[in-house]
Amino acid sequence: MTRVSVIGAGVMGLAAAHRALTLGHDVDLFEAAPEAGGMAAHFRLGDISIERFYHFICKTDYPTFGLLDELGIGDTLRWVPTSMGQFNHGRLYRWGEPFALLRFPWLSLADKFRYGLMMGLAMRRTDWSRLEHIDARSWIQRWCGPHVYDTLWRKLFDCKFYEHAGEISTAWIGTRIRRIGKSRKSLMQEELGYLEGGSETLVHALCGEITRLGGRIHLAAGAGRVLTDGGRVIGVRAGGQDFAAEAVISTVPTPLIPRLCPDLPEQALQMYRDIINIGVVCVVLRLKRSVTPHFWVNVNDDAFDIPGIIEFSNLRRVADTVVYVPYYMPVTHPRWGWAAEQFVADAMACVRRVNPAVADADLITSHVGRLTHAQPICTPGFAEKLPPVQTAIAGLQIADTCFYYPEDRGIAESIRFGRMMAERLG
């Protein structure tokens, strides 16, 4: 038995703590927030319990399926036929299937053929290492030409990555295309999943099982420092107390590591500092009427400053309509300082552009969430820029969502990575 401290009670930390306990270790789990779940935690939107940041399940999310069955909650998984929209040149178009591409008026027949071929091959590719050092903008333009990039991708990249729009790894973009492309019932029908009761169904089940197995969950007890002696972990300082530990698994955002683990070698600390993150302000609207029939709508229109809207209630059926409007931006951007009311007003204006029938009177309630370290900037060659998970300090493992690369953030990858770190304890 090893005494293990896990820092961060998002899904990765919860999965790590749970797996460590099933392997016979003694576990303390520390979380700065007053509740577990991280980005999968819920809040009350009126009388609805809903995720702070939307989540969905794809057909290839095998780590999720395995853990659900292990926890005895596999029967809460629901599959729903979903669709995608494309807002372009002031109009909403259906998107995401061959006939929608053929009907789209802003591309030539040759453009459509090249784009369809690129997407089809991306969905079949399993090894992205050959494209690891190529930026996605160059890759798309090489396959499809500048016009396709400008019509379908430029605005998405600009609104999510700002000055880094031309520095995004093809491998990272490609795995996103593949994951969504593989989550289909047929060529014509996308199908995504959710948990009955939302992501907190999984979070509550993990917390319950961790407690049942003898683990200790410390909420509102953010870790202040990993304690070391002679190049080895000896504990964690959290909530004003020191907790002894022979092994530590950190799952908090990498920008926090230099403060949390100052005893690491300077070269390693610099690697964590060099990982760039974009923040997000996520506006959640509860409305009286639906905006579109789609789960998500990509926005490629210069009238907007957002990459899309997600009508979550077209996946998980809840009372009324629930729409997420994400504003990605560097935390140094002037809009980061906007009041919540300004973001809600802007989000409602975006929704009305997509569907002019939506009125201010349709807004029932809203919520504005902010996350400073929301999206890592995965540049070409990103795999070589990541520090090793097992650090130079014996017993200390460190990873956050950027370590999933080339995969994107997601519950399945959080589960896979958390369990893997626990299994490395020996």
**Cβ-contact 289, 279 below 8 angstroms:** no
Architecture of domain 3-55+199-275+381-423: 3-Layer(bba) Sandwich (3.50)
User: Which tens digits make up the pLDDT trace of 319-343?
Assistant: 999 999 999 999 999 999 999 999 9
Strand ranges inside 158-276, DSSP E: 184-186, 189-195, 216-218, 223-229, 232-238, 241-244, 247-250
CA atoms within 13 A on the CB side of 339: 3
Residue 135 confidence (pLDDT) above 80: yes
* pLDDT, tens digit, 9 for 90 and up, residues 6-24: 999 999 999 999 999 999 9
- 426 pLDDT exceeds 80? no
CA–CA dist 225, 244 (Å, integer): 12
Q: Band of the pLDDT at 1, cuts 50, 70, 90?
A: confident
Encoding tokens for residue 119?
């997407």
pLDDT at 236: 98
pLDDT for res 122:
93
Closest CA to 207 of 114, 73, 327, 116: 73
Model pTM score = 0.96
% of residues, the chain, pLDDT over 70 = 100
Mind listing the pLDDT tens digit for each residue in 272-313? 999 999 999 999 999 999 999 999 999 999 999 999 999 999
Structure tokens at 168: 């995004």
| Residue range 392-421, pLDDT digits in tens | 999 999 999 999 999 998 999 999 999 999
Which sequence spans correspond to the domains of the chain? 3-55+199-275+381-423, 78-192+277-376
Q: What is the pLDDT of residue 187?
A: 84
Query: How far is it between the farthest Cα atoms of the chain?
Result: 66
May I ask the CATH class of domain 78-192+277-376? alpha beta
- Going from the C-alpha of 34 to that of each of 211, 222, 251, 329, 373, the distances in angstroms are 17, 10, 17, 26, 19
